[in-house]
Amino acid sequence: MPEPFEETLRQRLEAVRAQGLWRSLRPVDQRSASVLETGGHRLVSFAGNDYLGLSLHPAVLEAAVRAVYDWGAGSAASRLISGSLAVHHQLEETLAEFLGTEAALGFSTGHAAATGTIPALVGPGDVVIVDRLVHACCVDAARLSGAKLRVFRHNDLDDLDRILRWASGLSRNDSGGPRVLVVTESVFSMDGDSTPLAELVELKDHHGAWLMLDEAHSTGVMGPEGRGLAAQLGLGGRIEIRMGTLGKALGASGGFIAGSRALIDLLVNRARSFIFSTAPVPAAAAAATAALELMMTQDGELARHQLRLASAAGARVVHRAFPEPLGSASSEGSVGHILPVRVGDEAAAVALADRLRAAGVWVPAIRYPSVARGAARLRLTFSAAHTAVDLDCLEEAFNQACIQTPPNLSADAA
């Protein structure tokens, strides 16, 4: 006899709770660029990825509203079925121009971009090699592809080299392969450090492998006019697949892949999350296009400057609260907008986040499965929208919350 459904779920939920991994949704009644209102409390947020505050920028809002009236609230069908709206093409042309690629393709989310793209490019008999800290969507996508999945130690190119050598010794398959795809991130979402991209590009070229670079946390933030890490290092032309999200620094919603015309044509024909899904809402595409246009103006430059200032000031506050030796993570080239404070124990991280919330700031505790077990942490993110007063609130909250905090925490240097 199968166990009753509800009883099975109840037992599994108990196990989640027992491990200190319980998650629940906290309704937010109102938000501004840096402040959330929840349960009648006003909290300064260091939790969002709206790094430039663009989700509330007047030009971005106006573009979204205009698109609703021009195109409707929804896109009505998948783009291959009912025609492909100009608003999506405008976004893709702007993205390709911004990144200096031949073409780009929009997806409903960054997650969908990954799960559509990797299985379109590789399959059984091929090899996907991911950095141990890549985002869950790239791991899911690699599994979905049916390719052999190998993991290299975080940012460890010797380990990657070892796996690439192994892959080149594999016997050829039907498609003349194996094809070998390396996946990494420009700025790691939970650690805030960046990848040694120049060396990695040399290595994958040496082995004839392909590289997919997820720029979710660098698009809009790093590089000339916010074009990302690949652009900053002048390596765009040597990276086969560039991925990003429109939902973080660009303040909208959606994901994208940028690269050659052939890559984009293949995705239109093979990426299942693109083909079998309703096109992103017109408002999101228009908002992202407006955000990209802002990137190239004085306003964009100013927002990136303010983000840098807020990140540096935030790091000083964190390092005053946790004056351990600073940092194992190298955030070389990063503007330090993601700052982890390592706690280790899951329950301790949650307790610290709770105390911070009671003291008026929202800093999320990040636990397994977002990070490894026993690697729980607070993850602070900074925004151009953070004011000096917001950072004073953070300092005050740390002072209150840390009175009862065990001292063995360490903050990574920005």
Ligand X SMILES: *Cc1c(COP(=O)(O)O)cnc(C)c1O
**Nearest residue to ligand X, scored by beta-carbon proximity:** 110
List beta partners, residue 150.
Answer: 129
Site for ligand X in 48-77 (CB under 6 A): none
Rounded to an integer, what distance in angstroms lies between the CA atom of residue 147 and that of residue 124? 4
Minimum CB separation of residue 333 from ligand X in Å reads: 16
Q: Which stretch binds ligand X (CB under 6 A): 10-18, 108-116, 331-339, 382-390?
A: 108-116
- 110 contacts ligand X (rule: CB under 6 A): yes
Site of tokens 């907008």: 337
Minimum CB separation of residue 231 from ligand X in Å reads: 17
**Residues, the chain, total?**
414
CB within 8 Å of 222: residues ≥ 6 apart: 186, 187, 228, 229, 232, 333, 334, 335
Residue 209 DSSP label? -
Minimum CB separation of residue 129 from ligand X in Å reads: 17
Site of tokens 């017109």: 282
Site for ligand X in 132-171 (CB under 6 A): 135, 137
Q: Which stretch binds ligand X (CB under 6 A): 106-114, 154-162, 330-338, 357-365?
A: 106-114
- 216 contacts ligand X (rule: CB under 6 A): yes
**Catalytic annotation, pick one of 34, 49, 55, 273:** 49
Do 40 and 26 form a contact (C-beta atoms < 8 A)? no
- Residue 240 annotated among the catalytic residues of the structure: no
- Residue 185 annotated among the catalytic residues of the structure: yes
Closest to 382 measured CA to CA, from 45, 26, 38: 45
- 191 contacts ligand X (rule: CB under 6 A): no
List beta partners, residue 130.
Answer: 151, 183
Site for ligand X in 248-307 (CB under 6 A): 255
Which residue lies nearer to ligand X by CB, 13 or 136?
136
- Residue 135 annotated among the catalytic residues of the structure: yes
- 245 contacts ligand X (rule: CB under 6 A): yes
| CA 368 to mean position of chain CA atoms | 17
Amino acid in the structure at residue 306: Q
- 381 contacts ligand X (rule: CB under 6 A): no
Q: Which stretch binds ligand X (CB under 6 A): 22-30, 69-77, 109-117, 176-184?
A: 109-117
- 341 contacts ligand X (rule: CB under 6 A): no
Do 377 and 340 form a contact (C-beta atoms < 8 A)? yes
**Cα→Cα distances 129→135, 160, 181, Å:** 13, 8, 6
- 192 contacts ligand X (rule: CB under 6 A): no
Angle subtended by helix axes 86-99 and 282-295, to nearest 10:
30
Neighbours of 412 (CB within 10 A): 25
**Catalytic annotation, pick one of 185, 193, 346, 412:** 185
Residue 147 DSSP label? S
- 321 contacts ligand X (rule: CB under 6 A): no
Which residue lies nearer to ligand X by CB, 330 or 370?
370
- Residue 204 annotated among the catalytic residues of the structure: no
List beta partners, residue 213.
Answer: 184, 242
Minimum CB separation of residue 339 from ligand X in Å reads: 15
- Give the CA angle between residues 346, 349, 350 to the nearest 5°: 90
- 379 contacts ligand X (rule: CB under 6 A): no
Q: Which stretch binds ligand X (CB under 6 A): 6-14, 23-31, 211-219, 273-281?
A: 211-219
- 214 contacts ligand X (rule: CB under 6 A): yes
Q: Which residues bind ligand X (CB under 6 A)?
A: 109-111, 135, 137, 185, 189, 214, 216-217, 245, 247, 255
Active site residues: 49, 135, 185, 189, 214, 217, 248
